[in-house]
Amino acid sequence: MLFWQDPQFGEKLITMLAALVLVLQILMVAQRWLITNIRAFGVQSFLLAAIAATIAYFNHAPHVYVVAALTLIFKAILLPLALERLVAKIEIRQEIEPLVNVPISVIFSGLLALLAYVVAESFHRPDEAGLGHNTLAVAIALFLIGFFMMVNRRKALTQVLALLCLENGLFLAAISLTYGMPLIIEAGIFFDVLVATLLLAILIYRIRETFDSMDVSRLSRLKG
């Protein structure tokens, strides 16, 4: 059997790609430059598309190829380009000091990743193991670290990126464990996230025009 037809090779490839996805997520926690975070998200989405394509190939699931292509086109290419253009318009390129400083944030993200592996271990069933089953821990870690980024960051744009990373975690869990939900449901969720991101981008631009800042804590001025 050729190595690219061996399911064990596919499992190792998916595990390696998932590990890189997690590394990029922690890099985004440590990074304060908006452009770097946007590009890290784009690379992360590209790796998720590669994971989806690998699962589709080894499990003969053609509909997963469609999901992989949508992820590649929209989340790995178009969304990062749109967000970079937004950064150029608002002329704010760096995150202000987060609520928790960077070193502690990285340590906390590592602890969340460790917690994700502990939680995922309770769901492990060796008799039901399939291609991609080892990525559940990474999916949970993406969700937890993405939620932490939303709480910890003050810039509206980085909070949008955190929301997208959180959604990437849900995507990885669905695509790895169930080999994808029905295509119509996946497409609906995907475009809901896309529309929500575009609306949030418009909101960010309006916040920047009104408050001359993207610090969401300044929205407290709206109180009567």
Each residue of 130-186: pLDDT tens digit?
556 678 889 999 999 988 988 887 777 777 888 888 888 888 888 877 665 555 555
Name the average pLDDT for the chain: 78
Q: What share of the chain is helix, strand, coil (3-state, %, to 5)?
A: 80, 0, 15
In 1-33, which residue ranges form alpha helices assigned H by DSSP? 7-30
Place 31 in a pLDDT band, splitting at 50, 70 and 90. Answer: confident
Contacts of 170 (CB under 8 A, 6+ apart): 139, 143
The answer to whether 51 and 175 are in contact (CB under 8 A) is: yes
Contacts of 100 (CB under 8 A, 6+ apart): 108, 152
